[in-house]
Structure 1
Amino acid sequence: MNERDALDILQQAIWTIIIAAGPAVGSAMLVGIIIALLQALTQVQEMTLTFIPKIVVMLIVVAVSGTFIGAHIYAFTEVVYSRVEHGF
């Protein structure tokens, strides 16, 4: 294993993390922006108001996109195991 192989695996790992976390983080960001706009319009400045909707939306998004996330993690695992099996 040389530096190029290590960097290639690291790059694939980072992209897998971004793809796997993307739907949950994106939905939480969208809900956070919507709630922040509603708080600004109604002038209700309660800090804990954003937690429950974000958690609920993130759980729903992860439940819906779980197979997509699992498929990407499985594909990355297969690539890493195949490289270990064939000696890089």
Structure 2
Amino acid sequence: MASPSPHDRSRKDDDEDDPVEQMISRTGCAELHYAVQECMAEHQDWRMCKSQVQTFKDCMMNFQIARKEQLMKQVKPNSTESAPS
């Protein structure tokens, strides 16, 4: 019995349950992640996929910076409200 390809995107039921897939989808970097996976499947050598990996890394870093800024904005108003008078 052949096992399904991990790069087959038609398996929606499995993808919906995968927490890593869900996390990457929320970042807006999913297509870049898939590009890395496709490159790795095609070349079987990560060195051939350096540009895809860098693009995905940059996207994730931008997401993390934006998320950190968003969280800092949420924390600052709350921290001034709880300060003693």
What TM-score does the superposition give when structure 2 sets the normalisation length?
0.40
Higher relative contact order (CA 8 A, sep 6+): 1
More helix by share: 1
